[in-house]
């Protein structure tokens, strides 16, 4: 009888900001161990397809029921993939927002009339005009 559940097998899947923005499909090869009551065991390989939806965040869990190790008298483990966000060279994600730090010259900061070209996650360049806005220390 298979009544007692096993603790799930947790796996981290690191994804780039671009993959989290656009969504993607990842194939993960897993090996599960099938333990027999007599103490012997065998291994079984399987490929799981992870359908990453656009907009997912770090910590999102994707569960594959009963795809993990098998122990006598218990249900097979669930395999749970936990989304982790890879560091990005330009952006830092805070909730649903992407933060970008632009470098400006002292003259631009003091005069307050300039344009910042901000790269977007979609590879576009977004011009942001700054007009009559003197940057103050600590702002």
Per-residue pLDDT band for 50 (boundaries 50, 70, 90) equals: very high
Task: For tokens 């890879």, name the residue.
Answer: 86
pLDDT, position 137: 67
pLDDT, position 138: 66
Against a cut of 0.85, is the pTM above it?
A: no
Assess contact for 79 and 66: CB atoms under 8 A. no
Question: Across-strand partners of 9?
Answer: 79
pLDDT, position 65: 94
């Amino acid at each position: 009888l298979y009544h007692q559940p096993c603790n799930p097998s947790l796996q981290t899947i690191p994804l780039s900001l671009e993959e989290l923005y656009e969504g993607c499909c990842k194939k993960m090869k897993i090996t599960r161990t099938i333990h027999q009551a007599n103490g012997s065991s065998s291994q079984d390989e399987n490929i799981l397809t992870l359908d990453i939806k656009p907009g997912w965040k770090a910590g999102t869990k994707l569960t594959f029921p009963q795809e993990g190790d098998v122990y006598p008298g218990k249900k097979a483990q669930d395999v749970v993939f936990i989304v982790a966000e890879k560091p990005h060279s330009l952006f830092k994600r805070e909730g649903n927002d992407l933060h970008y730090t632009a470098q400006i010259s002292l003259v631009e900061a003091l005069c307050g009339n300039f344009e910042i070209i901000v790269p977007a996650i979609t590879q576009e360049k977004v011009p942001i005009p700054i007009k009559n806005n003197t940057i103050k220390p600590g702002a």
